[in-house]
């Protein structure tokens, strides 16, 4: 089976409800997602977009599965770089589980293609994004380096 | 963070992480085949790495696939390496790599 995939896990001292809000509410998302604006109606089959701060569509797709405070599956394709866009759609799964006094967040990002450049690319992006999400939820402040869009993109 | 440093203190466990870096999503049997360790040792090391959250595992049918989870390492990096130092360190590390390559 040819796939490119990673699985990232982070424990955050919060509740599933607060984490869900931080993942879906654009006001929170831009603070830890390099200033990106996330748009979706959050219903199965609804479109999903991540826009750069200056309004270009960076990634797009649709909501494949949604179970508030539990699970979100997105169909996800990069739009800015032609070679990455040409790789087609990936699947991103967020799973939220209560774990004692914290919440375990598991992010799986995968594509049915060996050695995907896009999966390589996002595997550099998720660790700072997730660390920043954790800082934002636990301290009220995200990490400085994740507040603005990278210049080269 | 203690669990992360403890997990990283063992050369066998660092080797396991290197192996997952080379090919993510391996089973215990596959990992064992790549390293000179007994099955029990691999299984014990993987358990320590999982507890430190450096390895995440996913069940696929009867198999358990292991993935390198760099999120805790990013937290360490974030704590001691600042935004501006990063570029200087990258330059030094590139220099070291290119000088060492030339020697071969």
ipTM, 2 dp: 0.70
Residue pair A137/A31 in contact (Cβ under 8 Å)? The answer is: no
Structure tokens at A39: 């748009």
Residue B92: its H or E element = helix B85-103
On the 0-12 / 13-18 / 19+ scale of CB atoms within 10 A, A45 is exposed
For an interface test with A, the pick among B56, B65, B75 (most A C-beta atoms closer than 10 Å) comes out as B56
Span A52-73, pLDDT tens digits: 999 999 999 999 999 999 999 9
The residues pairing with A5 across neighbouring beta strands, listed in sequence order, are A110
Residue of B nearest to A10 (CA): B71
| CA A83/CA A30 separation, integer angstroms | 25
Predicted structure pTM score: 0.84
pLDDT score for A1 = 61
pLDDT value at B102 more than 70: no
Kindly state the tokens that stand for B36. 């000179």
Q: Which residues in A lie closer than 8 A to residue B78 (C-beta atoms)?
A: 128, 131, 143
Provide mean pLDDT across the span B54-78. Answer: 91
Q: How confident is the model at residue B81 (pLDDT cuts 50, 70, 90)?
A: confident
> Which SS3 state, helix, strand or coil, does residue A30 take?
helix
State the Cα–Cα distance between residues A107 and A143, nearest whole angstrom. 19
pLDDT of residue A48: 98
Q: B16: which residues sit within 8 A by CB, 6+ positions away?
A: B31, B35, B42, B45, B46, B49, B55
What are the pLDDT tens digits along chain A (153 aa)?
688 999 999 999 999 999 999 999 999 999 999 999 999 999 999 999 999 999 999 999 999 999 999 999 999 999 999 999 999 999 999 999 999 999 999 999 999 998 899 998 888 899 999 999 999 999 999 988 899 998 777
Which chain B residues have a beta carbon less than 8 Å from that of A123?
70
Size of interface A-B (CB pairs under 8 A): 45
């Amino acid at each position: 089976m040819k796939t490119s995939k990673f699985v990232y896990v982070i424990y955050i001292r919060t509740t599933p409800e607060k984490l869900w809000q931080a993942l879906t509410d654009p006001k929170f998302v831009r603070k830890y997602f390099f200033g990106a604006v996330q748009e979706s109606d959050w219903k199965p089959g609804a479109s999903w977009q991540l826009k750069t701060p200056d309004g270009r569509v960076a990634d797009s797709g649709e909501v494949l599965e949604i179970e508030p405070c539990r699970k979100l599956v997105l169909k996800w394709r990069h739009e800015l770089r032609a070679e990455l866009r040409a790789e087609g759609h990936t699947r991103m799964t967020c799973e939220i589980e209560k774990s004692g006094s914290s919440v375990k967040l598991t992010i799986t990002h995968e594509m049915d293609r060996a050695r995907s450049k896009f999966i390589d690319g996002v595997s550099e992006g998720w660790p700072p994004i997730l660390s920043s999400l954790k800082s934002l939820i636990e301290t009220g402040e995200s990490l400085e380096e994740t507040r603005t869009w990278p210049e080269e993109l | 963070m203690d669990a992360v440093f403890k997990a990283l203190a063992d050369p066998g466990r660092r080797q396991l992480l290197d192996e997952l870096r080379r090919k993510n999503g391996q089973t215990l049997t596959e990992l064992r085949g790549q390293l000179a360790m007994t099955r029990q040792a691999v299984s014990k090391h993987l358990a320590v790495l999982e507890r430190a959250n450096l390895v995440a595992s996913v069940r696929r049918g009867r198999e358990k696939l292991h993935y390198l989870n760099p999120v805790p390492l990013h937290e360490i990096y974030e704590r001691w390496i600042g935004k501006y130092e990063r570029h200087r360190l990258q330059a030094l590390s590139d220099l070291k790599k290119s000088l060492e390559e030339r020697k071969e």
